[in-house]
Structure 1
């Protein structure tokens, strides 16, 4: 059972595992003065807006709650006590559009892509380097695509593991419930797949030799090997994936705001600036 700890960040609050047994978030009591005999009770999920801002119901008034899985550098990861990254910057712009602040919830990826976290009222959206797939569309709704990706293989330099066909009899690390896991299950014949809850554990296993190679999205693997001179991305697989921001099925109001923000930042050049900040180059048109 995951318990929770609050940690202040640039994007408001991070919620992540700790040894605490209980965390109670007590909303402030609102005292209403009766007038004209109206004693109606306000809804639990209050809409944002005012001053011309979009009206969107949020799970916690005043905050845009983002479920994501850490670490997934450079998209979302913790550094110096703050959660930062490409996805975080984009969601900050959505929060700004709504006139609220972003709150980040660190949670296992399977609860995000299955829609369970949305259905439980855990979050409003998820930016988690998440590929848009037909299976996931059955459980959650996606924004317009905002990032192109593909699967890649990473291994120690000199290993000779430069293709998925060379992994027979080897241990291949995969991240649970990801498109990398799906690709490996279909194509890594003869390899022994070792599942990990998050990217950090998967790459730690590769570095310590617990697995011989690992498969994941190319963006995170190229970022990782920059600081690991003994390892390299040995192969990319043309899977033609695109990332989308996920929301609860049927949440059309929030989805429209997200898509409007994505369109605005791409037309203004802000998207290119954020992309270059995290990847060191502008996106290929």
Structure 2
């Protein structure tokens, strides 16, 4: 546990050095010479796209919370920074635009690590294993790929779920976020919803059920602008720490409802 803290401390020191020598406030440029670049000095700004419960969603007080927010708050605390959460369209996250335009320092929104995305921004080490799931009306009889033939399938645009549906030769209907997917299923606009299995459990009520899981070997990572190596190293150091000291297990259990499977 303790041997990971110096990495975070060094990154924090790099932040202080950068803040001391930068009076222009232009921290949206790429980091130079390994220094930690931040959009706003003293703040770790995180872009996310709710609703995507339990990873990011609005609680009863109107605050954005969830597993991704819990993890990025740990990063901020290790660096001695405040955390600011910015709601952004998912396509700006998966394309890297949110990072490259200086909207935020980290993209955290259940982002599956892919080669295409990794060409646009850097990923942290994986922090969550994810497969695709199938949510349908109870008693629909839709429970596998074959039974989806000819059906309208709600997908979240620019996600790996959309890619999976297209690869099966099925008919995807795009929606901007998970909430709109669920609404379309409840109102009969579509026959099924495909999205990450971990987020579908919250909707297994009022006549909806998860009938299948499609293993894809997907893993989530946090996104950082290319060139900001000090921040990426700090993120990875925090991920290693929280896995070793039990913090990750506690966050996972609270948000997912079960303890993570042992490696």
| TM superposition score normalised by structure 2 | 0.86
* 1:85 Cα offset (Å): 0.6
Q: Who is 2:41 aligned against?
A: 61
Please tell me whether residue 133 in structure 1 is matched to residue 114 in structure 2. yes
Task: Check whether the contact 1:167–1:188 (CA below 8 A) recurs between aligned residues.
Answer: no
1:119 alignment partner in structure 2: 100
Paired residues in the alignment total 236
Larger radius of gyration: 1
Q: Which runs of 5+ in 2 are unaligned?
A: 1-20, 29-33
Determine the structure 1 residue equivalent to 2:251: 274
Q: How does 1:178-257 map to 2 (within 5 A)?
A: 178-189=159-170, 192-225=171-204, 228-257=205-234
| Partner secondary structure for residue 249 of structure 1 | coil
Q: CA deviation at 1:165?
A: 1.8
State the distance in 2 between where 1:176 and 1:209 align: 19
Alignment of 1:30-45 (within 5 A): 42-45=23-26
Does residue 103 (structure 1) correspond to residue 84 (structure 2)? The answer is yes
Using the TM superposition, give the Cα deviation of residue 164 of structure 1 relative to its aligned residue in structure 2, in angstroms: 2.0
* Distance in 2 between residues matched to 1:56 and 1:107, nearest whole Å: 23
Q: How does 1:7-46 map to 2 (within 5 A)?
A: 42-45=23-26
Q: Is the 8 A contact 1:45 1:57 kept in 2?
A: no
Secondary structure, counterpart of 1:256 in structure 2: helix
Q: Return the alpha-carbon distance in structure 2 between the equivalents of residues 41 and 203 of structure 1.
A: 46
CA distance in 2, matches of 1:120, 1:165: 42
Aligned Cα root-mean-square deviation (Å): 1.7
Q: Tell me, which stretches of 5 or more residues in structure 1 are unaligned?
A: 1-39, 48-53
Greater fraction of residues in helix: 2
Distance 1:97 1:188, change over 3 A: same
**Alignment partner of 1:151 is 2:128:** no
Matched, 1:168 2:145: no
The runs of at least 4 aligned residues of structure 1 exceeding 6 Å deviation read none
Q: Deviations over 1:197-250 (max 9, x none)?
A: 11111111111111110100000012221xx24111111111011000001112
Q: Is the 8 A contact 2:36 2:228 kept in 1?
A: no
Higher relative contact order (CA 8 A, sep 6+): 2
- Tell me what 2:55 maps to: 75
Give the conservation status (yes or no) of the 8 Å contact 1:151–1:239.
yes
2: distance between equivalents of 1:130 and 1:224?
Answer: 21
Please give the TM-score of this superposition, normalised by the length of structure 1.
0.79
